[in-house]
């Protein structure tokens, strides 16, 4: 296996889209980190760099000093250890994230070199798109009632495709959401930066979205893109907290926009934030896609 050097890795740019995106769309499992739009939008924040070597796509998070499990050609435990050793020689941690449970089970020798821990805070919440539209059953009764309350209060509301020209309205709504929510806890400053890149490069990133309005009032919006052939990734979802049912409506309208194309929706992680965890669990995910963190032993 050819040694990897971080100096050969490059930042994720728009010019890389046609190389990176097809590789990621074919990746399995479908973690939201393996999404070209996410890599680009959050790239400067996480100092993300990439390299294509020997039919493997490598992604390095410079902010947290972590190497993502590569996409593409299979890698045995010896190869993984060799990459980790190379990173350590460069003064890096040599740690890996998004390691599939099946890979850990198939390579028990990893325990000699790594501390292996499940990483629940970064598990992706996966939902059935159809179930998010139908909202059937006792567990989703409250969500269904909140949607019905919105429909009764705002019978003239409009749900439309989000456009690049909605940039200013999106920012204004996101800032209001921030003021009324816990900005610091959710690290909204970073999210705002990523949102700006999303909207400024909306077409180039092949993003789509939904906007909800009532009269001239901009109530909610979402932004999403493909993660695989049967799964969409919801990158952003913001709503006016002062409008009753707006949060449930944007979730519902987004699912309605996706249901004809995607079987599943990835609504990303809860980051260990209890309020966010409760909100994501309240919609009854099909499963939480979790992976292992491999930390090199001294």
List domains and CATH numbers for the chain: 6-122 (3.40.630.30), 124-268 (3.40.630.30)
Q: Do 70 and 57 form a contact (C-beta atoms < 8 A)?
A: yes
Whole-number pLDDT of residue 191: 81
Residue whose C-alpha is closest to residue 38's, from 130, 118, 122: 122
Distance CA 42, CA 126 (A): 21
Q: Do 294 and 115 form a contact (C-beta atoms < 8 A)?
A: yes
**145-155 mean pLDDT:** 96
Q: What is the pLDDT of residues 117-139, one digit of tens each?
A: 999 888 999 999 999 999 999 99
pTM, whole model, 2 decimals? 0.93
Distance CA 289, CA 298 (A): 29
Confidence of residue 184 (pLDDT cuts 50, 70, 90): low
Confidence of residue 279 (pLDDT cuts 50, 70, 90): confident
Q: What is the pLDDT of residues 5-46, one digit of tens each?
A: 999 999 999 999 999 999 999 887 789 999 999 999 999 999
């Amino acid at each position: 296996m050819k040694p990897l050097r971080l100096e050969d890795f490059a930042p994720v740019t728009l010019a890389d889209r046609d190389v990176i995106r097809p590789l990621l769309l074919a990746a399995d499992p479908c973690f939201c980190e393996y999404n070209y739009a996410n890599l680009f939008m959050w790239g400067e924040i996480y100092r993300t760099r990439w390299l294509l070597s020997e039919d493997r796509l490598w992604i390095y998070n410079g902010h947290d000093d972590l190497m993502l499990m590569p996409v593409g050609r299979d890698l045995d435990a010896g190869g993984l250890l060799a990459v980790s050793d190379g990173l350590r020689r460069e003064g890096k941690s040599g740690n890996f994230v998004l390691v599939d449970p099946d890979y850990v089970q198939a390579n028990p020798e990893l325990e000699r070199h790594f501390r292996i821990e499940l990483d629940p805070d970064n598990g992706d919440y996966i939902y059935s798109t159809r179930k998010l539209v139908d909202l059937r059953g006792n567990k989703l009764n409250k969500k269904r009632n909140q949607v019905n309350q919105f429909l009764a209060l705002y019978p003239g509301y409009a749900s439309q495709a989000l456009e690049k020209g909605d940039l200013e309205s999106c920012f204004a709504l996101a800032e209001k959401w921030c003021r009324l929510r816990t900005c610091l806890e959710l690290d909204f400053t970073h999210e705002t930066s990523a949102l700006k890149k999303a909207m400024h490069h909306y077409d180039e990133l092949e993003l789509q979205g939904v906007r909800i309005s009532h009269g001239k009032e901009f109530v909610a919006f979402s932004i999403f893109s493909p993660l695989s052939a049967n799964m969409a990734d919801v990158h952003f979802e913001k709503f006016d907290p002062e409008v009753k049912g707006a949060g449930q409506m944007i979730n519902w309208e987004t699912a309605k926009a996706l249901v004809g194309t995607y079987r599943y929706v990835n609504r990303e992680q809860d980051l260990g934030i209890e309020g966010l965890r409760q909100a994501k669990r309240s919609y009854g995910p099909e499963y939480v896609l979790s992976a292992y963190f491999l930390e090199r032993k001294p």
